[in-house]
C-alpha cells in the first residue's frame, strides 16, 4: 500500500468517527454529592444523549439561564440597541457586589445581573414577551407571576430537553428573533476558547425559597473543530449553583474529547 493511500484511509477514519459516547464520563465522580442530569446533541444531526433521562424531562424554573432568552427578546424588540446598551444602577443594595454598578447588556449577562434583566422585561412588556415565549415554545410559557419575576422560581418552567431544543434553534438561526439579535447573543455567551474549540453558555442558580442554593443550571454550546453540540444540565442539593455546574460540564466535555486538555484562553 502506498503512503498516499494509507494517509487517505487514516483521514477517512478520523473524519467519519462521529460517535458521542457518554460512557467515557464518570458521572458519579463528576456530579459528586449532587443529583444531576445531562443531555447533549450534535447540532442538525444525531440523537440526544442522556445521563438521567427522566430528570432531563422534568420542568424547573430556568433561573438565570432565562437571560439568554431575555437578551434575545430585548434586542429584537428594540428594548436595547445591543451589547453595549448601558443601564444605570439605582443604588439598591445587592448581596452580589458585582450587581451594584452600572451595566451594559454584555456585562449584565456575564455577571448575571438580575435588576438589568428585570428592566429589560418591563421594557419588552407582557404582550410581546408572551408572543416570544409562545413562538419559541419555551417550556410552559407561563408569565403569570409578573413580567419582572416570572422566571425567578415562580411561574415559568422548562426542562433540560426543552432548553437543549431552544439552544439548537438559537445556533441554527431558527428562533423568532432577528438574525443580528441571535448572533449578538451567541457572541455574548462565549466563555472560553482554545485551539479548535469554543465553549459557550449561561448559568442559573435557584434557592427554592431557602437561604442556600439548591438548584444549579448550565445550558450552552461547544464548537469542536467543524462540529457543534448543544447541551443542558442541572444539579440539585445543598450548594448546587450554576457556576459549580458550569465547571462540571466543562470537564465532561473534556472527557468526551470535545475540548482539549490544555488550559483555555478567555475570549
Burial string for 217-234 (b: 16+ CB within 10 Å, else e) reads: bbbbbbbbeeebbbbbbb
pLDDT in tens, 249-264: 999 999 999 998 554 4
Active-site pick, 3, 55, 64, 200: 64
Specify the long-range contacts of residues 26-31, CB closer than 8 Å, at least 24 apart: 26/255, 27/51, 27/52, 30/248, 30/251, 30/252, 30/255, 31/235, 31/248
Domains along the chain? Answer: 19-255 (3.40.710.10)
Is the model's pLDDT at 16 over the cut of 80?
no
Output the CA–CA distances (angstroms, integers) from residue 82 to 58, 72, 173, in the order listed.
33, 10, 17
Q: Give residue-wise pLDDT tens across range 196-226.
A: 999 999 999 999 766 678 999 999 999 999 9
64: annotated active-site residue: yes
Average pLDDT over residues 21-32: 96
Q: What mean pLDDT value characterizes the chain?
A: 91
pTM for the whole structure: 0.90
**Phi/psi of residue 88, nearest 5 degrees:** -85, 135
Which H or E run includes 194? strand 190-194
Lowest mean pLDDT among 7-16, 66-75, 90-99, 169-178: 7-16
- The pLDDT tens digits of the residues spanning 1-14 come to 444 433 333 333 33
Amino acid at each position: 500500500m502506498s503512503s498516499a493511500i494509507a494517509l487517505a484511509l487514516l483521514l477517512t477514519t478520523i473524519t467519519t468517527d462521529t460517535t458521542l459516547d457518554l460512557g467515557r464520563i464518570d458521572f458519579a465522580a463528576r456530579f459528586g454529592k449532587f443529583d444531576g442530569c445531562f443531555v447533549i446533541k450534535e447540532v442538525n444531526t444525531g440523537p440526544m444523549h442522556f445521563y438521567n433521562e427522566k430528570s432531563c424531562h422534568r420542568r424547573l424554573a430556568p433561573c438565570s439561564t432565562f437571560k439568554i432568552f431575555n437578551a434575545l427578546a430585548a434586542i429584537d424588540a428594540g428594548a436595547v440597541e445591543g451589547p453595549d446598551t448601558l443601564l444605570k444602577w439605582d443604588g439598591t443594595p445587592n448581596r452580589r457586589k458585582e450587581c451594584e454598578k452600572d451595566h451594559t447588556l454584555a456585562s449584565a449577562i456575564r455577571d448575571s445581573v438580575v435588576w438589568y434583566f428585570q428592566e429589560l422585561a418591563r421594557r419588552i412588556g407582557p404582550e410581546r414577551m408572551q408572543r416570544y415565549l409562545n413562538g419559541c415554545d419555551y417550556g410552559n410559557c407561563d408569565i403569570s407571576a409578573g413580567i419582572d419575576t416570572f422566571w425567578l422560581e415562580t411561574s415559568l418552567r422548562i426542562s433540560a430537553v426543552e432548553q437543549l431544543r431552544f439552544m439548537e434553534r438559537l445556533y441554527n438561526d431558527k428562533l423568532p428573533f432577528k438574525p443580528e439579535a441571535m448572533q449578538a447573543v451567541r457572541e455574548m455567551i462565549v466563555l472560553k476558547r482554545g485551539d479548535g474549540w469554543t465553549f459557550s453558555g449561561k448559568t442559573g442558580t435557584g434557592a427554592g425559597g431557602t437561604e442556600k442554593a439548591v438548584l444549579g443550571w448550565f445550558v450552552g454550546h461547544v464548537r469542536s473543530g467543524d462540529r457543534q453540540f448543544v447541551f443542558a444540565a442541572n444539579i440539585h442539593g445543598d450548594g448546587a449553583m450554576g457556576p459549580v455546574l458550569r465547571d462540571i460540564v466543562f470537564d465532561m466535555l473534556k472527557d468526551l474529547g470535545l475540548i482539549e486538555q490544555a488550559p483555555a484562553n478567555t475570549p
